[in-house]
Structure formats: C-alpha cells, structure tokens
Homo-oligomer: A and B are copies of this chain.
Amino acid sequence: MDRIGFVGLGVMGSRMVKRLLDAGRRVVGYNRTRAKAQWLVDLGMEWAGSPRQVAEAADVVFSMVTDTKALQAVTEGPDGILAGLGPGKVYVDMSTVSPAASRALAERVRQRGAQMLDAPVSGSVVTLEEGRLSIMVGGDRDAFERVRPILQDIGPVVTHVGGNGQAVLMKVATNLSLAVQMLAFSEGLLLAERGGIPRETAVHVLLNSVVASPMLKYRGPFVLRMPEEAWFDVNMMQKDLLLALEMGRELNVPLPTTATTNEYLTAARGLGLAGYDFAVLFEVLSRLAGRDPELR
C-alpha cells in the first residue's frame, strides 16, 4: 500500500490526516509548527523534519496550505517538496491557488519525473468531519486513478474534472456562489425583518425553502449568533472571489453578481469586520440600511 505524505497540518489538513489514519493508512507528516500536530503523532502519524523529507519518504505526497506564497514556501528550496520528488511519485496539492500557478508547478513536478494533481475541496471542516466532503481533481487520469482510493478516504465524493489547474478553476467557479448566495440571503432576511417578521422566523422559513443550499443551512444561523472563531473569514472568501474575477478577465467572462458582492466584502474590511465569518455580510448590509452595529 502507498505510503502517504502530508505537508500542512492546519485546520483542514490535520483533520484529513485523521481520516486517513482512521482508514488504516500510514502517514508521514510535516507542519511548520510541530506543536499543533502532536495529537496526530499521538494517533500514529510519523513526523518528518521538512517538506522534502516528507516527499522522500512517501509515494503519494499531499499539501494543504493557505495561498500561493505558502505553497512556494513548502515546495521551493533545498528543503522543499520538489527537491524530494522523483519518478513514480504523485504530488497532490489541495490548496486553492490560481490555475496558472498550479499549472506552472505541475510542469516543474513533471521535470522531476513525478506527476502532479490539483485537488481543492469544496466544503468546510464540518463537511469534512461528517464525511460529506467533495474533492475536485485536475491532472492526468492515470495519476488520478492511482490516488483515487486515498482521496475517497478523505472525501468521499471525488470527481476528475480535467487537466492540471482545472480543479482549482472549478473550485473558484463554485466558491463565488458562496458569497453571492450569502448576500442575497441577507437581502431577503433584512427585507423580512424590516417588514416586521422576527429574524428567527425569517431564518427558519428561508432555511426550509428551495433556496436553502447546504452552505446556507450551515452558515445562515450565524446571523442569529456569530461564532467566535471564523472557519472561513472575509479575507479568505475575498481571496477566492479575486481569483474568480481574475479568471473572468482572463477568459472574458463577465461576473456581475460576483463583482457586486466583492465590494461588500471590501466594505466589511472597511467596517473592521474582516475577522468574522463572511456571513457578516448581513451585518454590512444592515449598517448600510441604517441599523445600529450588532458586532464590533
């Protein structure tokens, strides 16, 4: 059985490794801050001293980091993943970076004799823990078939969407709806509340209607009580929208609701609300409508 490497054990990455260990797989991992990963070592994960050592020790190497800059930090240089890759290995990056950056990295992996897949996920840590995560995969089909069983232990829904970079494109194309749906939901909710319907009642009706996507069912209640810790905050959401808008300009696709919504995320930052989950769009709209602040 393939030995699995995993670089980047943050909120999502660590729980993915947990699922792999639960499925009986051997995993060697690395994280910038070791302390955060100790619980996985206690569960049986092996520890490696650098991303390169992970790549050397494993047949299939995963990475899951926050952005292009962090991805460069774990792939480049003498201690990076690239230095540890070689023929026969498959490298699977699950981060959300630009399709162009992903394709460029795939080319360099190919030069090392290995194969790369981009495999970003749609869904939050809750979806992951409940075993309902959807994973999109871009890259050669044979490499995909080889790692598919591993991805299914994480997923379980796994879809091959095309060549290198196309999975991150698909991810970005999906995620723009997260923000737009949340703002549209906020518009309807504020309309109802201003018209005299209690907010709880309006949320209940909306979340039992035909517009209630799984995302809204999870996030909609945040307008009643915002969680302390954001799993997907304003800045993370805007990062995805900016990738979408950049792709839109490159591919000549106008994105009217995405562009409109993106400006409200900018407003959230201006109002000092960037640290909240992007459900804070309701608060942004409320203030524009003249209501007193509910969040600080």
Contacts and interface: CB of A to CB of B under 8 A. Distances in A.
Given A174-B211, A259-B263, 14 more contacts: A134-B210, A159-B205, A163-B196, A166-B195, A177-B206, A178-B211, A180-B181, A187-B248, A187-B255, A187-B256, A254-B266, A257-B261, A267-B290, A269-B290
A257 B174 contact: no
Contacts of A266: 248-249, 252-255
B257 A180 contact: yes
Interface in A97-113: 99
B287 A205 contact: no
Interface string A215-253: 110100000000000000000001000101001110111
Contact of A290 (B134, B169, B262, B270): B270
A177 B181 contact: yes
B289 A191 contact: no
A30 interface: no
B197 A162 contact: yes
A201 interface: yes
Interface of A: 99, 122-124, 127, 134, 136, 157, 159, 161-163, 166, 169-170, 172-174, 176-178, 180-181, 183-185, 187-192, 194-198, 201-202, 204-206, 208-216, 218, 238, 242, 244, 247-249, 251-264, 266-267, 269-272, 284-285, 287-291
A217 to B, nearest CB: 9
14 contacts: A134-B210, A162-B198, A166-B195, A172-B191, A173-B188, A173-B195, A174-B209, A177-B206, A191-B248, A211-B214, A248-B263, A254-B264, A267-B288, A271-B289
A290 to B, nearest CB: 4
Contacts of A269: 252, 290
A211 B214 CA distance: 6
A289 to B, nearest CB: 4
A194 B170 CA distance: 11
Contact of A192 (B157, B169, B284): B169
Contacts of A251: 191, 194-195
Nearest to A259: B259
